Amino acid sequence: MSAGTGGAVDWAALRSAATAAMQRAYAPYSSFPVGAAALTEDGRIVSGCNVENASYGLTLCAECTMVGALQMSGGGKLRAFFCVDGAGQVLMPCGRCRQLLYEHRGSRLELMTASGVKTMDEVLPDAFGPEHLSD
C-alpha cells in the first residue's frame, strides 16, 4: 500500500480490505452485509462492517465501525474510501455516513463509486462541519 498524501491510491488494496471487512458483517435482519475501508493520510488502512440490531434503527453502518477503528488505531485523516456489499458491488455511503466521513476527511478525500472516483465535496456538497460551530 502506498503511504502518505503523495503517492497513488491502491484501490485494489482498499477493495480487498473492504471485502474482508464485509465478511465480518453482522446483518441477520437485512441479509445485506457491507464492508468499508479507507486509506489514511499516513498510509494505514482502516475498515469496518455493518453491525445490525434487533431494534433496527440502532444498526451501525460499516462506515460507523470503520470510523471507530480509525480512532482506536490512532486517529488521523482519511484520504480514500471504498465500500462494498455482499455481491461485490461498490456501495455509496448513506447520508449519515457521508457526514461521518466528512468529519474525518483529509485535505482531499476520494470515494470510489460505481461511476468512478469522486471527491467528498462532490458526494456531500455544502456540508455542515466543525468550522460552522461557534462558541
Name the residue nearer to ligand DUR (CB basis): 43 or 86: 86
Task: For residue 37, state whether it binds Zn ion (rule: CB under 5 A).
Answer: no
User: Is there a catalytic annotation at residue 63?
Assistant: yes
61 binds Zn ion (CB under 5 A): yes
Is 49 an interacting residue with respect to Zn ion (CB under 5 A)? no
Q: Does 94 bind Zn ion (CB under 5 A)?
A: yes
3-state percent helix, strand, coil for the chain, nearest multiple of 5? 30, 25, 40
Instruction: Give the integer Cα–Cα distance in Å for 84 and 99.
Output: 18
CB of 65 to ligand DUR, least distance (A): 8
* Cβ proximity of 46 and 21 under 8 Å: no
Catalytic residues: 63
